[in-house]
Amino acid sequence: MKKIIVGIISLLLLIPVCTVAKATEYVYEDVPTESWYAQSVYYCAEQGLMVGETEQLFSPQGKMTRAMFIVVLYRIAGEPYVELIEDPFTDVRAGSYYENAVKWGIQIGIVSGITPTQYGPREPITRQDAACLLERFLTATECHAFDGKPEAELAYLDAEYISDYAYESVMSITHKSLMRGFPDCTFRPKSNLTRAEAAVLFCKLFRAISE
């Protein structure tokens, strides 16, 4: 039985933490201005981290893919030089928008595939896998912006469903308040991360690193 030690704020990303510094050219018809993710969506768009699936639609409830997720982390890192290496993933197409990001992730040791030879770029990323990538990113880039004590000592009611490989990362990312649980005190580790949720966490991450 896993020892449940995670700190959790009861609301998941319901209060936006980012403000848009200036007027943005992006106006998404499916992002209500009063929504909990609106300011984060527009901040990410303005910073060039995430944009809409079309010029008019952001698709906030759409699923964040594994390709999209690693690309945004790569952008946050400043799109560093990528060595000409061969990667083990046969489904990472040469010349694709995510090729350099995946290879960069391999170089710094944060990327793992859904199988030894498949990265699964088009697969939705689960919340627990997003937590793993975030935690590895913070370690690899020596980012200490989120270091500190847990805000609370409560429990995820579904902690037993967090995969063993992801458990410590989920705990750590929760303590850092990059990802949080739902109002019913669950984390929903195997649910797919939405684009709205991704925008909020990337907004937090980018602002902390940039300050």
Q: What would the pLDDT profile of 115-163 be if each residue is shown by its tens digit?
A: 999 999 999 999 999 999 999 999 999 988 887 655 555 689 999 999 9
194 forms bridges with which residues in the sheet? Answer: 63
- How many Å separate Cα 123 from the centre of its chain? 14
Judge contact between 25 and 51, C-beta under 8 A.
no
- Higher-confidence residue of 91 and 3: namely 91
- Higher-confidence residue of 173 and 83: namely 173
- The torsion defined by the Cα of 50, 54, 55 and 56, in degrees rounded to 10, comes to -110
